[in-house]
Structure 1
Amino acid sequence: MAKTTQATRFLDKARVSYTIQQYDYDPNAFKVGLQAAEAIGEPAERVLKTLMAEVDGKPVCAVLPSNAEVSMKKLAAIFKGKHAHMLDVPAAERLSGYHVGGISPFGQRKRVPVDFEAAALGHPYVIMNGGQRGLQVKLAPADAVKALGAETAGIIA
């Protein structure tokens, strides 16, 4: 497995300190984020998932704990829209440049607005996808928010 991805290059360029964690990705896992948390021995609320959505037809990215569900109503409101829905797999992969199960908010093909779940800011570190299935990056949540230029609001259902 390569340890250099678009995501890690993005973090390096932004001068963000991170460490890499790898695990055996299970393509048959019911919830990929929960499987990642279990595989690396971290609490699910600290292992964040990246979801690609649309708000009033415009793409956005949501970053939230792997054991939580996004509120489409809250996501739409944060981006000053009325309607939000998840992108289908081909659209999410095309927009992000990553395969589902390996989508990272860092270094996406097309930069889109990001909301980072505010509750995750209370952790000393979080673990996020590093741009490849089975590759995670561990970093300070404030560093992730700064590098992404993300909004920080509650989006959990």
Structure 2
Amino acid sequence: MAKKTDVSAGTPATVALAAAGIPFTVRAYDHDPRAAAFGLEAAEKLGADPERVFKTLLATVDGVLAVGIVPVAMHLDLKALATAVGGKRAEMADPAVAERKTGYVVGGISPIGQKTPSPTVLDESAILHETILVSGGRRGLDLELAPDDLLAVTGGRYAAIARVR
């Protein structure tokens, strides 16, 4: 995969990756505002296996925000996320709080380049793929990169945090 140095996508995520020297590919698609499941829409429109396309979800773990990144066809296991970040209880974050703390809109929240960095956990299934896709910071924009590179730029870790729908 070639390093994408043209950051014309212009999001904090692409800027952060370029600044860190991490290779990535911008994958844009025409977002349908009527789409109910943003991640599944991305997989379909990009022709990517849903197991390689990951969604970014924010949860509050013992009162502190945490980021869980799971395949789009799966759910975030809140108890597993809490355990992964050393907490006891987790619940999904209020969407308005998630937008304010990350600087992104729901459906376009990237795990990269968030305004306020939070503990980040990537589901361990990501290690099965050479590259994965995550939101690039707006609806209709994904970034393809190696899972280890995603963890390097976010300071995250792997854990089993996904569960079947």
TM-score interval for Structure 1 and Structure 2 normalised by the shorter chain: over 0.9
1:150 paired to 2:156:
yes
Structure 1's consecutive aligned runs of 4 or more residues displaced over 6 angstroms after TM superposition are none
Q: 1:28 aligns with which of 26, 31, 34?
A: 34
TM-score by length of 1: 0.96
Match of 2:65 in 1: 59
Secondary structure, aligned partner of 2:76: coil
Match of 1:69 in 2: 75
Counterpart Cα distance in 2 of 1:35 and 1:144: 22
Cα RMSD over matched residues?
0.9
Counterpart Cα distance in 2 of 1:54 and 1:11: 26
CA deviation after TM superposition for structure 1 residue 61, in Å: 0.4
Secondary structure, aligned partner of 1:92: helix
CA deviation after TM superposition for structure 1 residue 30, in Å: 2.0
Structure 1: stretches of 5+ with no match in the other structure = none
Match of 1:9 in 2: 15
- How many residue pairs were aligned? 156
Counterpart Cα distance in 2 of 1:37 and 1:27: 15
Instruction: Give the % identical residues.
Output: 41
CA deviation after TM superposition for structure 1 residue 149, in Å: 1.2
TM-score by length of 2: 0.91
- Listed one character per residue, the Cα deviations across residues 22-81 of structure 1 (whole Å, up to 9, x for unaligned) are 111122222110011000000111011000111000000011111110111111111111
